[in-house]
Homo-oligomer: A and B are copies of this chain.
Amino acid sequence: MRKKTRKTLPALRSHCPISYALDFVGDKWTLIVLRDLCLARKRYFQQFLASDEKIASNILAARLKLFENAGLVTRETDPEHGKRVLYTPTEKALDLMPVLLELLRWGTKYHAKANAPAHIVKGASENRDGLIAELRSLHGK
Contact between chains at A22 and B15 (CB < 8 Å): no
Q: How many residues of A contact B (CB 8 A)?
A: 44
Q: Does A105 contact B (CB under 8 A)?
A: yes
- Number of identical monomers bound together in the oligomeric complex: 2
Q: A28-B27, A98-B105 are in contact. Are A35 and B18 (CB under 8 A)?
A: yes
Q: Does A53 contact B (CB under 8 A)?
A: yes
Q: Does A49 contact B (CB under 8 A)?
A: no
Which of the 9-residue segments A57-65, A74-82, A107-115 touches chain B? A107-115
Contact between chains at B17 and A53 (CB < 8 Å): no
* B contact residues around A54 at 8 Å (CB): 13
Contact between chains at A110 and B92 (CB < 8 Å): yes
- Would you mind naming 24 contact pairs between A and B with Cβ atoms under 8 Å apart? A13-B53, A13-B54, A15-B52, A15-B115, A16-B35, A16-B52, A16-B107, A16-B116, A17-B103, A17-B104, A17-B108, A17-B121, A18-B103, A18-B104, A18-B116, A19-B35, A20-B111, A22-B32, A92-B110, A95-B106, A95-B109, A98-B102, A98-B106, A99-B102
